[in-house]
């Protein structure tokens, strides 16, 4: 038997953006534990905005397990928060609101800033570095600094070792800003992996004394880009049947549900979706072929392929909860009759 360090990880009850929480329990297993072998566990919900003090027990229900690349005999255990009965989802448990993700594929593009001493990494203590231009996909010290790429590479290696399905990484438009992409067949799978990748990034950065700034417009109303988390999505029907009529009906449903989508696409999105910096205004739905200034970008390949394939919703922001984003997209998709 081997003693495993099981890091149970969950989302707390803070609004509008939940925080990642985690605690360790040690359990013996013959070999790396399967999900079925992992027991329910509990925590004090009064310390996480998930319960009142007098009746504060919440239940952690494991829903995904990954090898922990940074710990000897470690496992990362993604959990849903349940009521004390162990079967009723807690009101903060948004993963449980994803009703049906059969056949749904999601690709999330997470943008974020590294922050040190309250400034983006690589910014001088006062004033600003050279304006945006050569940072995006850039190379060299003056473009990406010296520490950022080291962290990004370490994070990528950790995620791959944990079995997270990264599809790529790149330096972004602003100095100190980066992106990684995660793709999953099943929205829960993609969203679980996104939260786990965020966890690994934040934990890795502790030793560098660097924070991750997920806010969508950390530099306010300046010429510095904000951060998004574009959600690329497809369903079985979109990939195999599609068609112009279906596509137009789908876009009409997205337009009708504009406010429901914006409500879960991350806080302060009105500061980011201004119509500038490759964004569409937050309060007006639009779509366009290869149009990075539209709410939904329709890839060339989609049109060429008789309106089959995937679509990119460019509105979700870097602070958004991928569970809520996927849940709302699939809810709108489900409103549109297929054939
Ligand atoms: P860009 O920066 O040009 O928008 P990226 O390469 O960063 O493009 O992101 C594109 C994303 O689209 C990737 O995360 C990829 O996994 C995702 N994607 C590709 N095909 C599909 C599909 N059929 N369904 C859902 N997502 C997809
Ligand atoms: Mn205790
Ligand atoms: Mn991208
Ligand atoms: Mn990007
Ligand atoms: Mn994109």
Mean pLDDT by 10 residues, the chain (339 residues): 98 97 98 98 95 87 98 98 96 96 96 97 95 97 95 98 98 98 98 98 98 97 95 98 98 98 98 88 96 95 98 98 98 95
ipTM: 0.95
Structure tokens at 296: 């939904």
d(CA 93, CA 81): 6
Q: Is 167 close to ligand 1, i.e. is its CB under 6 Å away?
A: yes
Q: Is the CB of 181 under 6 A from ligand 1?
A: yes
pLDDT of amino acid 279: 86
Find the Cα–Cα–Cα–Cα dihedral 306, 312, 314, 317, rounded to 10°.
160
Residue 153 · residue 201 · CB < 8 Å: no
Name beta bridge partners: 329: none
Looking at residue 56, what is its pLDDT?
83
Cα torsion through 26, 163, 70, 231, rounded to 10: -110
pLDDT at 6: 98
In the reported structure, the alpha carbon of residue 232 is separated from the centroid of ligand 1 by a whole-number distance in angstroms of: 5
What is residue 146's predicted lDDT score, i.e. its pLDDT? 87
For residues 13 and 126, give the distance between their C-alpha atoms in angstroms, rounded to a whole number. Answer: 36
Ligand 1 pocket test: pick from 108, 109, 186, 189 the residue with the most ligand atoms within 8 Å of its Cβ. 109
List CB-based neighbours of ion ligand 4 within 5 Å: 179
Please choose, from the candidates 196, 189, 222, 7, the residue with its C-alpha nearest in 3D space to the C-alpha of residue 110. Answer: 196
For residue 55, the model assigns a pLDDT of: 79
Alpha helices in the chain (DSSP H): 141-144, 148-162, 187-205, 236-240, 244-256, 258-264, 269-272, 300-304, 322-334
Which residue lies with its CA nearest to atom 9 of ligand 1?
109
The confidence score (pLDDT) of residue 278 equals 78
Nearest CA to ligand 1 atom 20: 310
Per-residue burial over 131-161, b if 16 or more Cβ lie within 10 Å, else e, is ebeebeeeeeeebbbeebbebbebbbebbee
Q: Indicate which atom in ligand 1 lies nearest the CA of residue 182.
A: 14
- Per-residue pLDDT at 339: 79
Q: Rounded to 10 degrees, what is the CA torsion of 303, 306, 309, 315? A: 40
Q: Looking at residue 152, what is its pLDDT?
A: 98
Query: How many A from CA of 308 to the centre of ligand 2?
Result: 53
Among 97, 86, 36, which residue's Cα sits nearest to residue 64?
36
């Amino acid at each position: 038997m081997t003693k495993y360090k099981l890091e149970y990880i969950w989302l707390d009850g803070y609004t509008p953006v939940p925080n990642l929480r985690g605690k360790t329990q040690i359990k013996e297993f013959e070999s790396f534990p399967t999900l079925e072998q992992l027991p329910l566990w509990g925590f004090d919900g009064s310390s996480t905005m998930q319960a009142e003090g007098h009746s504060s027990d919440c239940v952690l229900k494991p829903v995904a397990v990954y090898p922990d690349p940074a710990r000897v005999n470690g496992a990362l255990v993604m959990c849903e928060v349940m009521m004390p009965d162990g079967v009723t989802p807690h009101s903060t448990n948004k993963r449980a609101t994803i009703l049906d993700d059969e056949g749904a594929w999601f690709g999330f593009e997470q943008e974020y800033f590294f922050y040190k001493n309250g400034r983006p990494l690589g910014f001088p203590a006062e004033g600003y570095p050279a304006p945006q231009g050569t940072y995006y996909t850039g190379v060299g010290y003056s473009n990406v600094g010296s520490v950022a790429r080291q962290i990004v590479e370490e994070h990528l290696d950790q995620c791959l070792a944990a079995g997270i399905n990264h599809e790529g990484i790149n330096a972004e438009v602003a100095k100190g800003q980066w992106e990684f992409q995660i793709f999953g067949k099943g929205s829960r799978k993609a969203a679980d992996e996104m939260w786990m990748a965020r966890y690994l990034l934040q934990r890795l950065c502790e030793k560098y004394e660097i924070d991750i700034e997920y806010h969508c417009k950390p530099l306010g109303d300046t010429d510095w880009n904000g951060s998004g988390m574009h959600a690329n999505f497809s369903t079985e029907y979109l990939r195999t049947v599609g068609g112009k009529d279906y596509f137009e009906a789908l876009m009409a449903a997205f337009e009708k549900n504009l406010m429901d989508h914006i409500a879960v696409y991350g806080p302060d999105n009105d500061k980011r979706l201004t119509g500038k910096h490759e964004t569409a205004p937050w309060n007006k739905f639009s779509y366009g072929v290869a149009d990075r200034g539209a709410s939904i970008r329709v890839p060339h390949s989609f049109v060429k392929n008789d309106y089959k394939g995937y679509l990119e919703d460019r509105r979700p922001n870097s602070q958004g909860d991928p569970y809520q984003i996927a849940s709302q997209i699939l809810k709108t998709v489900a409103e549109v009759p297929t054939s």
